Structure formats: C-alpha cells, structure tokens
C-alpha cells in the first residue's frame, strides 16, 4: 500500500512519471494515468480532469466532485495538488453546454492473462443528451472499450482515466457502476437458466432504485411498470415468464437487452451491436425503442458496423476506432462516407 505521505512526497519532489498501478490504496490504476506533472513556480501540480488523489483528501474530493456533478455546476473537475493540500478548481461549463456524463482520457488496457495491449489511448467525451456511435473494422477494440468501462475482469486498465458523472469509474466494482447508471448491452447476451426474466428484471430494477434512494417496487407494481416497456418494444408479455435469454433467438435476446435498459432507466447506455441478428421489423422496433429512451439528461454510446441503425437513431457524433484508439470523429456524414467507400477511403482522407 502506498501511503499518503510518500505519494504526496513524490509530487513535492516533482517526479515526472506518476505510478500507474497503485493498488489497495486510495488511488488505483487509472486514477493518475499518464498525467504530466509540470513544476510551476516551485510547486508541483497535477492537472488532470477528474483525477483523484490519494489520502484523506480523496474522500472530500470525491464527494465534492460528485456533488458538483449533481448540482450541474461544472462540466468537469480539475484537481490541483501541492505537497500537503489538495483543492478542487472548477472549470465552468460554457453557458448552455450540457454536463459531461463520461470523460475518457488516454485509456489503455491489456488482456489480463496475456498482457496483450488492446486499448491504446482512447479519448472520448460524452455529454448529456448526446448519442455517440463508434464504428471501426473488426478487431479495432470497440467491444473491449465497452467491457473495460463496465469493469470486465478479462481486462486490466494500464493507463488513463474514465470519469462517469464526476466519479472515477475505475474505483467502482462492476455492480456499483451499474447501480450508478451505467448500462452495457452485450454483443452476446448470456443465458441465466432457472431465473425468470420477470424476477431478474425486478431484482435489477430494485437494486438500481435502492442505489438512487427510491423505494423498491413490489411484484404487482413492477408488472405495471414493465408492461408499458414491453408495449413500447412490441414484445410479447410471455417473455417475462421465460428464463433470462434461455432459448431466445438472437433477435429476441437483443430486444430483451433493450427491455433491461428501459427498466433500469440508465444514465448512460452502451449498446454493442444491438443491430446484429435483427430482422428488418425488429431493427426498427429496437431502434425506435432506443430513440424513445433518449432524454436530455442521459446519453448513449452505440457500437455498430452499419449506417442503417444510425439512420433511425441519428447520433450526435460518429467516431472511427482503429488499433485501440479513436482516430476520427465526425457527424452522420462520416457514417455515410464509410458506407460508400469503406474504411480505406476514410483513411485516405485522413492523410
């Protein structure tokens, strides 16, 4: 465990490379990432948005950071430290600008077993009310990014930061990430034999409600709540009695993922190829359901290979991922260029 004093001494000494794997202490891998530490007028400063520092200050910084996010008073938080003190400096959001809901900076991750590097410095800022689409060739790291954000144990974060609603995502266990409003629809949703969809959805819904300080829904109340969601998704109520994803067709599993999302009322949904395996009608239903879930205070990150889904959902930004990094960002016209000319044509434009 790295003590607060030795960590802070490193700041005071102006050590250029901060440790990226501080485990078991207040700070963890990813907290400090690859922060540069300039020495300004004899004082060492760490200026990295949303980064949390070790020691007792961490608690108050976290609390302040979270509170400020809730109050909507800042788009992001800068931590400034010197040898013995830490304070928050507010970076006010530009007037009328929506709050940042997720800010990923320089995110690097490896496969935990083999140490193979997959994410190679991802930068991404998502604000409330926005829909972002990530496209990219097979194997470029899109699914890995989504799994790393939710804390999948196959991967280890080796650098960078991810701040979700003002808090360090990598400080949280996967279930805590879910409780605080992060949702991932997996490319291949898992089956849970012996657990009915209804029970599973109610349990997940109530866990999230607990985390938000809301009362749990009883079976009858929940049925009323979920019935509306089923109608919006054009789903047969008999789905509720079946075991989670057991025997579901590919398309049914995808619809079921969106049903989970609508029940959880997540603040940020990561949708990994929800269009794969859907027939034309199902694609329209799922896309319309996603559009129906868009609000001014939530956000969506979609991974897709095709423009057809984007035509329904109309993302605010389209990003292209290549070799574990986002290499190009544009609007819907970028997806149209990809559809027309493929990745080579877009890569040629980059030059």
Ligand X SMILES: Nc1ncnc2c1ncn2[C@@H]1O[C@H](COP(=O)(O)OP(=O)(O)OP(=O)(O)O)[C@@H](O)[C@H]1O
Which phi and psi angles does 25 have, rounded to 5°?
-100, -165
Rounded to 10 degrees, the C-alpha dihedral 284/288/289/290 comes to 110
Which residues, 278 to 317, sit near ligand X by CB under 6 A? none
342 binds ligand X (CB under 6 A): no
Give me the least distance between CB of 26 and ligand X, in Å please. Answer: 29
Q: Name residue 313's beta-bridge partners.
A: none
Q: Which of 154, 175, 191, 236 binds ligand X (CB under 6 A)?
A: 154
Q: Does 143 bind ligand X (CB under 6 A)?
A: yes
Residue holding tokens 């619809």? Answer: 255
Candidates 140, 245, 260, 298; binder of ligand X (CB under 6 A) is 140
Q: Which residues touch 113 (CB under 8 Å, ≥6 apart)?
A: 154
C-alpha count within 13 angstroms, C-beta hemisphere, residue 114: 4
Given the complex with ligand X, which of 55 and 141 has the nearer CB atom? 141
Nearer to ligand X, 155 or 200 (CB): 155
Which stretch in 2-10, 139-147, 166-174, 261-269 sits in contact with ligand X by CB under 6 A? 139-147
For ligand X, the closer CB: 24 or 114: 114
Interface region with ligand X, contact rule CB under 6 A, candidates 23-31, 64-72, 132-140, 219-227:
132-140
Q: Which of residues 195-214 bind ligand X (CB under 6 A)?
A: none
Angle 52-58-64 from CA coordinates, rounded to 5°: 85
Of the candidates 148, 150, 172, the one whose C-alpha atom is nearest the C-alpha of residue 160 is 148
Contact string (CB under 6 A) for ligand X, positions 102-131, x = contact:
---------x----x-x-------------
Could you give the CA distance from residue 170 to residue 120 in angstroms, rounded to a whole number?
17
The CA–CA distances, whole Å, from 62 to 8, 77, 98, 162, 163 equal 18, 10, 21, 14, 11
The yes or no reply on residue 72 touching ligand X (CB under 6 A) is no
C-beta closer to ligand X: residue 38 or 139: 139
Interface with ligand X by CB under 6 A: which range of 42-50, 98-106, 140-148, 306-314? 140-148
Among 144, 168, 185, 262, binds ligand X (CB under 6 A): 144
When the beta carbons of 20 and 143 are compared against ligand X, the nearer one is: 143
Decide whether 152 or 294 has the Cβ nearer to ligand X. 152
From CA 51, how far away is CA 63, in angstroms rounded?
A: 13
Dihedral Cα 183, 189, 195, 200, nearest 10 deg: 20
Of residues 54 and 118, the one with the C-beta less far from ligand X: 118
Minimum CB separation of residue 142 from ligand X in Å reads 4
Interface residue with ligand X among 50, 55, 136, 166 (CB under 6 A) is 136
By CB under 6 A, the count of residues binding ligand X is: 12
The yes or no reply on residue 20 touching ligand X (CB under 6 A) is no
How, if at all, do strands 268-272 and 299-303 pair?
parallel
139 binds ligand X (CB under 6 A): yes
The tokens describing 53, both together, are 């520092």
**Part in contact with ligand X (CB under 6 A); list of ranges 75-83, 137-145, 226-234, 235-243:** 137-145
CA distances from 137 to 101, 131, 140, 167 (A): 27, 20, 6, 31
What does the DSSP 8-state code read for residue 217?
P
Give pairs for 92-100: CB < 8 Å, separation 24+. 97/127, 98/127, 98/128, 98/129, 98/130, 98/296, 99/69, 99/72, 99/75, 99/127, 99/128, 100/75, 100/76, 100/125, 100/126, 100/127, 100/163
186 vs 200, which CB is nearer to ligand X? Answer: 186
* Shortest distance (Å) from residue 148 CB to ligand X: 9
Least distance from ligand X to the Cβ atom of residue 141, Å: 4
Q: Are 336 and 319 in contact (CB under 8 A)?
A: no
Binding site for ligand X (CB under 6 A): 111, 116, 118, 136, 138-144, 154
């Amino acid at each position: 465990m790295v003590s607060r004093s030795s960590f802070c001494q490193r700041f005071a000494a102006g050590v250029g490379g901060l440790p990226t794997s501080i485990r078991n202490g207040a700070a963890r891998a990813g907290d400090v990432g690859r922060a540069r530490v300039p020495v300004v007028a004899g004082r060492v400063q760490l200026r990295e948005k949303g980064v949390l520092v070790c020691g007792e200050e961490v608690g108050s910084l976290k609390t302040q950071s979270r509170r400020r996010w809730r109050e909507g008073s800042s788009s992001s938080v800068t931590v400034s430290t010197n040898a013995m003190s830490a304070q928050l400096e507010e970076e006010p959001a530009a007037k009328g600008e929506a709050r940042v809901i997720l800010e990923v900076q320089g995110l690097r991750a490896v496969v935990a077993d083999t140490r193979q590097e997959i994410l190679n410095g991802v930068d991404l800022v998502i604000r409330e009310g926005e829909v972002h689409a990530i496209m990219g060739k097979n194997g470029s790291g899109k699914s890995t990014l989504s799994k790393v954000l939710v804390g999948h144990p196959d991967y280890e974060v080796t650098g960078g930061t991810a701040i979700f609603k003002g808090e360090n995502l990598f400080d949280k266990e996967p279930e805590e990430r879910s409780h605080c409003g992060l949702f991932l629809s997996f490319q291949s949703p898992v089956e849970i034999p012996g657990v009915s969809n209804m029970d599973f959805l109610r349990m997940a819904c109530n866990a999230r409600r607990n985390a938000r300080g809301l009362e749990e829904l009883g079976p009858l109340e929940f049925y009323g709540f979920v019935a509306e969601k089923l109608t919006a998704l054009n789903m047969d109520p008999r789905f509720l009695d079946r075991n989670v994803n057991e025997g579901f067709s590919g398309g049914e599993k995808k619809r079921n993922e969106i049903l989970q999302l609508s029940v959880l009322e997540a603040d940020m949904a990561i949708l990994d190829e929800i269009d794969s395996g859907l027939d034309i009608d199902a694609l329209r239903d799922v896309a319309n359901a996603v559009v129906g879930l868009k609000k001014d205070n939530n956000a969506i990150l979609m991974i897709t290979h095709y423009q057809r889904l984007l035509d329904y959902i109309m993302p605010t930004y389209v990003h292209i991922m290549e070799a574990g990094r986002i290499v190009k960002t544009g609007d819907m016209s970028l997806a149209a260029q990809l559809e027309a000319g493929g990745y080579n044509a877009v890569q040629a434009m980059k030059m």
